A and B are shown apart, each in its own frame.
Chain A
C-alpha cells in the first residue's frame, strides 16, 4: 500500500512540476499580451559601448591564414583586414585596405593599390610587401593552412610552390614536354604532370605519391637531372620555392598578381579571411625567439592586427574581449569600442544565455530544431538565407546504386517539403539543384522534387518492382541530432514509397570523415557551405579530380565544361557553361540534394547595423547599440 502511495506521490509531483513549468514558458500565439513580442530581454545588460556576442567555441586558430572553422573565421575576419571588403547592403566587393585595383590582360592580371599610410596595430607601416608575404605564406605547404588550395590554385605558379613541384631550368628554347616526361620516366620517376612556367622555358614537374614516397621521387628526379645529366648538360633542377609564384609587391603600395585564368570571382575570393595580411615583422621575430615555431604570434601578448578590432583580454574557453584598433584606416567609422565574445558551446545554453541577456546574438549557433516552434513567431527570431546545400551522396562504384534510374527513384521518393516543414520546423528550403540560386546572377538547374509514382516506375524499370529484390543498403551518417532526425524521416519515405529498407549506421565524426575519404560507404549525408559568392564553389565539388568528390561520380563532359568556363572571360557565357555542367550532374543524379540551408539566430532588437548576409559574415565594425 505504502509503496503505491509513494509511487503515486512521486508520479504526481513530477507531473505537477512539469506542467507548472509549462505555464512559465511564454507561448507566442497564445494568450500572451503584446508586450511579450520578444523571446529574450530587450534592455541591454551593458552600456552602449559594448556588445556581447557568442562565438560557439574557443577558436582552433586565431591566425587568419590558418583559420578553418566558423568560430575561427568570425574572430579573424574582424581582427585582420583584407584588400577588399563586402558592402553589407549591396553584397558587392568594395575597397578595404586597397583603395582601388586595375584589371589587366583581359582579367589575367591584377594590380592592387593600397591606401596611403596604412598601419599595423603596433604603429608599424603596413605595405604591399606584407601582402606578398601573407599570400605566399598561405600557399606555402609548411604553413599547414587548410585553405591553402584556395590560394595556390588561382595564382600562376602557385600550384608548383604549394604542391612542391620540381623546377627544371636551363632549356635554351621551349622543351617538348612529352620527351621530357618519357626521359624522366625511363629513369624511374613517377610523374603526375608537367607544366610550363609562365613566360619561361622552365618546366614544373609534379610527382606522384605521398609523404616519404613523394620525397624519394623528388630526390630521384633532381639527382637524375643534376648528377646523371638525363636531360643534357646545363639543365638544372631544384625544388620550387616562393619565387616561382607570380605575385609581387611592385613597391610599398602596389601588389601585382597573375592568375591562371580570367577568373571573374577573384575579387570576391580575395575577401575571404585567408587572404588577410599578417604582420611579417612580428611573425618573423616570434619564430626567431622560439626556434622557428611561429605559432605563438597570435597570443594575447604578441598579437598585432590590421583590422578594426584588437584582442585585449582573454579567458580560455570563457570569453575574449576586443577593443577598437585606433590604427585601422577606417577607425573613425567603427561604432562600438568594445566587443565581448563568449564561447558558449551548446545551442541550448546559447538560447538560455540569450533569453536572460547574457549575450546579444546567438552567433554561429542554430536555433535547436525542437525549439523552433516555440520561438519562430517572436520578433527577435531571424531566419536568413545561407550559402549552403544539404545533400546525400551515393557511392557510384557500387552495383545497383550505379544505375541512374535507382538514384532518380531514391531522389524522387523523398518528400523534401515534409522534411523541412515537419522535421525541421520550417527553417530550411526544399531544393533540387547543386548550386544555390542567385549567386552573381546565376540561374540554377532544378530537378523535379517529389514524384513517388515516377519513382516507383523508375525502380521497376531498374528491375525492382515494388522494391522486390532490392538489396538493403547502409545509410551512414555522423553523430548529430539533425542528421538523425532527417534520415529517420527519409528511411520511412523510402519504405513507404518504394518499399525498400535501409539501415541507419551512425559513426563518430572522425571515423565518418575517414570513411568518406576512402569511399567506404553506400549512402551518406553531406553539407557544403560555399567559400565565396560564386557558383564555382559548389560546381567544383563534382569534378573528377576534386578531393571533395567522395561519391566518385566522374563525367568527362562535365569536367571539360567546367575547365572551359575557367578560361572564359565573357561572364554570361561562363554562367551558361556552369549551368550546363550543373544540368549534366543533376540529370545523372550525381548527388541527391535535399534542402538549402538557412541560418536561424536570435538577435537583440537594440543591436543596429546588423545586416543579413548570405555567408553569415557579420562584421562588428558596422554594429552598435541603440539606447532607448
Chain B
C-alpha cells in the first residue's frame, strides 16, 4: 500500500512536469502578445517590457529558467497586475475560492447522494421521477442562469444577501449554492445509476434470498455500489470546484481564482496562467490518486498494482 502510494507520487511529479511543459508550449505558441494594446505602443517601449519579463531571450532558455524557478517555488511576475507576483495572487485568491468550493461540495454531496439513494431505492415511483426531474433541472439550469436568478431573488427582491463581492460569510452563500447545484444533480444521477447497478446484481439477489432485510441490503451493499461512480466523478470535480468556477465567480464578482483561467488566458498573462494551471494540476493529480486509493477501500476486489 505505502509502496503503491510512493510509486504513484513519483508518477504525479512526472505528470506534473509533462503538464507544465505542454502548457508552457501551448501558451507561448498562441497568437497575441501580453503587451499589445488598442493604442499603438512604440517598439522601444515593447522592447523594455519584453526585457523586464525575459521574453527577449530564446524560448528554450525561458523555459529552463521558468522550470528552475518553479522548482524553487517561484511562479514569476504577473503581467496584468504589474507589481504583484503570481505566488502572492494565488495566496490571496485560492483560500476564497476554496471556501466557496468547500461549502458547495458539502451541500452537493449531501443533497445529491441522499436524493440519488432515495430515487434508486424507490425506483420508478413518484419519488424517483420527482427527484430525478429536479436533478435534470439542476443540470439544465447552469450557474449562468441560476446565479442571476439567486441574486434577483435573494439580494435584490429580498435583501438577505449582498449582491456581490467579498467580506463576510454572507458573501459565500449564494455563490456556493449556484455552484453546488449542478454538481448535486450530477451526483444524484450517478448515485442512482450506480446503486441500481448493484441492486440488480447477483450478490444482492443472494443477500435478499438469504433473507437479509431490505434496509440492510441498501445500507450494506447498495450504497457502497452507488459510491463508486460518484467517487470517480468527484476526483476531477473536486479539483475543479476547489480552483473555482469562472462563471460563478464572475457573476458574483468573487475575488477568487476561477476567473484567472479565462482572464489570464485572454490577457496573455503568461505566468499567472501557468501558475493557476499548476495549482489546478496539483489538485487534480492528488485527488485522482486519492480516488484510486479509495477504490481499494470501497471495492476490496480491486487490487493495488
Which residues of A have CB within 8 Å of B251? 346, 348-349
Chain A nearest Cβ from B6, distance in angstroms: 38
A517 within 8 A of B: yes
Q: Are B36 and A547 in contact (CB under 8 A)?
A: no
Q: State in angstroms the CA–CA spacing of A146 and B42 once bound together.
A: 8
Q: Are B253 and A66 in contact (CB under 8 A)?
A: no
A332 within 8 A of B: no
A19 within 8 A of B: no
A372 within 8 A of B: no
A166 within 8 A of B: no
When A58-B81, A316-B89 are in contact, do A146 and B133 touch as well, CB less than 8 Å? no
Q: State in angstroms the CA–CA spacing of A122 and B39 once bound together.
A: 35
Chain A nearest Cβ from B207, distance in angstroms: 31
Which residues of A have CB within 8 Å of B71? none
Q: Are B250 and A345 in contact (CB under 8 A)?
A: yes
Could you give, for residues 490-531 of chain A, a 1 whenever the CB lies within 8 Å of some chain B CB and a 0 otherwise? Answer: 000000000000000000111101100100000000000000
When A211-B47, A345-B253, A346-B251 are in contact, do A508 and B32 touch as well, CB less than 8 Å? yes
A176 within 8 A of B: no
Q: Are A349 and B164 in contact (CB under 8 A)?
A: yes
When A61-B82, A295-B83 are in contact, do A510 and B44 touch as well, CB less than 8 Å? no
Which residues of A have CB within 8 Å of B82? 60-61, 66, 295
Q: State in angstroms the CA–CA spacing of A163 and B43 once bound together.
A: 8
- Which B residue's beta carbon lies closest to that of A140? B48
From residue 304 to 324 of chain A, which have CB atoms closer than 8 A to chain B? 315-318
Chain A nearest Cβ from B228, distance in angstroms: 29
Q: Are B253 and A144 in contact (CB under 8 A)?
A: no
From residue 35 to 89 of chain B, which have CB atoms closer than 8 A to chain A? 36-45, 47-50, 52, 56, 80-84, 89
Q: Are A508 and B266 in contact (CB under 8 A)?
A: yes
Partner of A548, one of B39, B49, B162, B266: B39
From residue 352 to 379 of chain A, which have CB atoms closer than 8 A to chain B? 352-353, 355-356, 358
When A60-B82, A146-B39, A356-B156 are in contact, do A342 and B165 touch as well, CB less than 8 Å? yes
Q: State in angstroms the CA–CA spacing of A344 and B255 once bound together.
A: 10
- Which A residue's beta carbon lies closest to that of B36? A513
Q: Are B48 and A511 in contact (CB under 8 A)?
A: no
Which residues of B have CB within 8 Å of A149? 42
Chain A nearest Cβ from B257, distance in angstroms: 11
Q: State in angstroms the CA–CA spacing of A62 and B82 once bound together.
A: 9
Which residues of B have CB within 8 Å of A3? 129
B18 within 8 A of A: no
Q: Are B32 and A514 in contact (CB under 8 A)?
A: yes
Partner of B33, one of A10, A316, A345, A514: A514
Which residues of B have CB within 8 Å of A510? 31-34, 36, 266-268
Chain B nearest Cβ from A155, distance in angstroms: 15
Q: State in angstroms the CA–CA spacing of A208 and B251 once bound together.
A: 48
B211 within 8 A of A: no
Q: State in angstroms the CA–CA spacing of A68 and B80 once bound together.
A: 11
Q: State in angstroms the CA–CA spacing of A547 and B80 once bound together.
A: 23
- Which A residue's beta carbon lies closest to that of B267? A510
- Which A residue's beta carbon lies closest to that of B130? A6
Chain B nearest Cβ from A394, distance in angstroms: 18
Could you give, for residues 123-159 of chain B, a 1 whenever the CB lies within 8 Å of some chain A CB and a 0 otherwise? Answer: 0001001100100010000000000100111011101
A200 within 8 A of B: no
- Which B residue's beta carbon lies closest to that of A547? B40
A142 within 8 A of B: yes
A162 within 8 A of B: yes
Q: Are A211 and B56 in contact (CB under 8 A)?
A: yes
B300 within 8 A of A: no
Which residues of A have CB within 8 Å of B155? 352, 356
Which residues of B have CB within 8 Å of A548? 39-40
Could you give, for residues 87-116 of chain B, a 1 whenever the CB lies within 8 Å of some chain A CB and a 0 otherwise? Answer: 001001100000000000000000000000
B233 within 8 A of A: no
From residue 144 to 202 of chain B, which have CB atoms closer than 8 A to chain A? 148, 151-153, 155-157, 159, 162-167
Could you give, for residues 124-157 of chain A, a 1 whenever the CB lies within 8 Å of some chain B CB and a 0 otherwise? Answer: 0000000000000000011111101100000000
A546 within 8 A of B: yes
From residue 239 to 275 of chain B, which have CB atoms closer than 8 A to chain A? 250-253, 255, 259, 266-268
Q: Are B37 and A68 in contact (CB under 8 A)?
A: yes
Q: Are B42 and A6 in contact (CB under 8 A)?
A: no
Partner of A317, one of B34, B162, B167, B255: B255
Which residues of B have CB within 8 Å of A352? 151, 155-156, 163-164
> Given A143-B48, A214-B43, A511-B32, 19 more contacts at CB 8 Å?
A2-B129, A21-B157, A24-B157, A58-B81, A61-B82, A148-B44, A210-B47, A316-B81, A317-B255, A318-B255, A345-B250, A348-B148, A349-B163, A353-B163, A356-B155, A358-B163, A508-B32, A509-B266, A514-B31
List the 5 closest pairs (A to B, CB-CB), nearest first. A547-B40, A510-B32, A141-B44, A317-B255, A352-B163
| A-B contact list, 14 entries, CB within 8 Å | A2-B129, A3-B129, A21-B153, A61-B82, A146-B37, A148-B45, A344-B253, A345-B259, A349-B252, A352-B164, A510-B33, A546-B40, A547-B42, A548-B40
